[in-house]
Structure 1
Amino acid sequence: MTVRIRPVERADVGALVELCREHAEYERAPYEPQGKQEQLTAALFGDAPVVAAWVAETDARIIGYATATIEFSTWSCQKYAHMDCLFVRDGMRGQRIGARLLDQVLEYARCAGLPQAQWQTPSWNADAARFYLKAGATSAEKLRFSVDLSRRPGKA
């Protein structure tokens, strides 16, 4: 099987939304696909793109993806690449596809002159933790929090 890693194209966005749905399901998280194709298209290909993305494909079928943004660390006073997502479809894992997607993200960071890339994975995902440690990453114990502002009234 030949797998090609390449930058996402506009024609891929529908497949990317489906992969995001599968990724959320894998991570036991809710996902609402309504409107995501338009939102991702704007984020990836708009006048001021805010995310970079790559897909893994075989036989014209997209089987994985990775996305990254550039963030700023107050502590280090430096920008860094934040890998938001890396996902390979079930049945396709264990074939170095994830490693190749990760390499793309790290190359993106290097080309942007960034000193570091960071990401997170659910604490229960031991397979991902092993994969990242094997790739040379180190881990930091943290809890990740979020607030759904659409469900929380504003403060006056």
Structure 2
Amino acid sequence: MLTDTPRPVGTIRPAVPTDLPMVAELCAAHAAFERAEPVSADLAARLEATLFTANPRAWCFVADHEGELVGYVTCSLEFSTWQATDYLHLDCLFVTEAHREEGWGRRLLDAVTRTAEERDVTQVQWQTPDWNTDAIRFYSRAGAQASAKIRFSLPVQ
């Protein structure tokens, strides 16, 4: 686990259904930051159907700073054909601008690595935009190794 950054006041905890409106707001801020399309208006309800079932498809952790959610991370179990094993895909990691450089990102990443360990998964994979030099520096300091790829998205319908 990554522990060399001072711990901010607050906690990293699994999201609960009542967090979802704020998580959706954080997702909207994250999408805007990454210059992506806006999130759907029903995102909170759609996340609830994914995160809070008997067998969730994904997990979400939030950075709770004295009752205010200042960040989130989501991850899901995926399969690598080349390695013939499962891995944890970190889909989103976001901390609000006012709370960056306080150690929240490191603690959110720790929550993902703990989730991987709990599921006997030995690797976490993710991507970040190539222009996001702060994220690239953060992930590199955390010991992550980059691989050059271009991400494609193919709309269906």
What is the Cα deviation at residue 81 of structure 1? Answer: 0.3
Aligned to 1:92: 99
Aligned to 1:7: 14
> Does 2:76 correspond to 1:69?
yes
User: Which residue of the other structure, out of 148, 152, 156, is the alignment partner of 1:141?
Assistant: 148
Aligned to 1:22: 29
User: Which residue of the other structure, out of 86, 89, 113, is the alignment partner of 1:82?
Assistant: 89
Conserved? CA contact 1:3–1:97, under 8 Å:
no
User: Which residue of the other structure, out of 103, 111, 118, is the alignment partner of 1:104?
Assistant: 111
RMSD: 1.0
Runs of 4+ deviating beyond 4 Å: none
Conserved? CA contact 1:66–1:84, under 8 Å:
yes
Bigger Cα Rg:
1
- Secondary structure in 1 matching 2:40: coil
Matches of 1:74 and 1:137 in 2, distance apart?
Answer: 21
Matches of 1:32 and 1:101 in 2, distance apart?
Answer: 22
Conserved? CA contact 2:27–2:39, under 8 Å:
no
Matches of 2:129 and 2:11 in 1, distance apart?
Answer: 27
Q: Which runs of 5+ in 2 are unaligned?
A: 1-7
Aligned to 2:4: none
What is the Cα deviation at residue 96 of structure 1? Answer: 0.8
Q: Which runs of 5+ in 1 are unaligned?
A: 151-156
Tell me the number of residue pairs that the alignment of Structure 1 and Structure 2 aligns: 150
- Secondary structure in 2 matching 1:28: coil
- Secondary structure in 2 matching 1:149: coil
TM-score by length of 2: 0.93
Aligned to 1:153: none
> Does 2:45 correspond to 1:38?
yes
What is the Cα deviation at residue 35 of structure 1? Answer: 1.5
